[in-house]
Amino acid sequence: MHIDRDTDPIRLFQAWLTEAEGTEPNDPNAMTLATVGADGMPSARMVLLKGLDERGFSFYTNLGSRKAGELAAHPRAALCFHWKSLRRQVRVEGGVERVGDEEADAYFATRARISQLGAWASKQSQPLTGRFELEARVAKYTARFHLGAVPRPAHWSGYRVLPEVIEFWEDRPFRLHMRFRFRRTATGWTAEELYP
C-alpha cells in the first residue's frame, strides 16, 4: 500500500498486520505496551492486540495487574509493533479507555477454556509462593466451573488505546528509511514524512 499524506493510518496498519500474519513465525499481533507508574518510571511489556477498529487498539488483562494499576492512575499509553520479517515498525500513542462489559464478555467467550480458567486463577502481578499454588487455584476453578460456560471474572477486562499519533517506519537501503507520522485531529488525520 502506497503511503502519502492522504493515507488512512488505520487502514494502513490493518494492511501491514495482514502482511505480518503471513510472514511472522509467532504472534504477529504482539505489541510492546508502555505505561507509567506513580513515580514516573516507565514500564513496558509484551501483550497481544485483540481488537482493532476506528476507535483504537484493544488488549485484555487482569484488572489487578501492574499495567491496569498504572493505566488507572495515568490513562495514557504507547504501543510498538515490530515485524522483523517485514523490516517494519509501527508506534502508537494515545489515551486509554476500558472496553465495555459486552465487548469484554464477547472476547472472553472466544478464549480457550483453560485460558478462561487461568483468568480466574491468576492473581496477576502478585507474589507467588510456588508453582503449586497456581496449579491449586486452577484446579479450584476447574472444579467450580466443571460444566457449562466459564463466565468472565469481574477482575478481568480490556483496554483500548485511542490513537492520537501513529508512526510507520519501514527499512530502506543505506538507512534511508521511510517514516510517516499521522496525528489525529478533530476532522481526521494529518500526516508528515520524517527524516529517518
pLDDT digits (tens, 9 = 90+) for 111-138: 999 999 999 999 999 999 999 999 999 9
Which residues are the active-site residues? 175
Question: Which residue has cell 490513537?
Answer: 163
Contacts 24+ apart (CB under 8 A), 136-144: 138/114, 141/117, 142/117, 144/120
The pTM is what? 0.94
- Please tell me the distance from the alpha carbon of residue 129 to that of residue 75, in angstroms, as a whole number: 31
Answer left, alpha or beta for residue 27, where phi above 0 means left and psi between -120 and 50 means alpha: left
- pLDDT tens by residue, 16-57: 999 999 999 999 999 999 999 989 999 999 999 999 999 999
Question: Grid coordinates representing 29?
Answer: 499481533
Residue-range domain boundaries for the chain? 9-109+154-193
Q: What is the DSSP letter of 142?
A: H
> What class, spelled out in words, does domain 9-109+154-193 have in CATH?
mainly beta
Dist. CA 164–CA 185, nearest whole Å: 8
What confidence tier does 4 reach under pLDDT thresholds 50, 70, 90? confident
H or E element that contains 13: helix 9-23
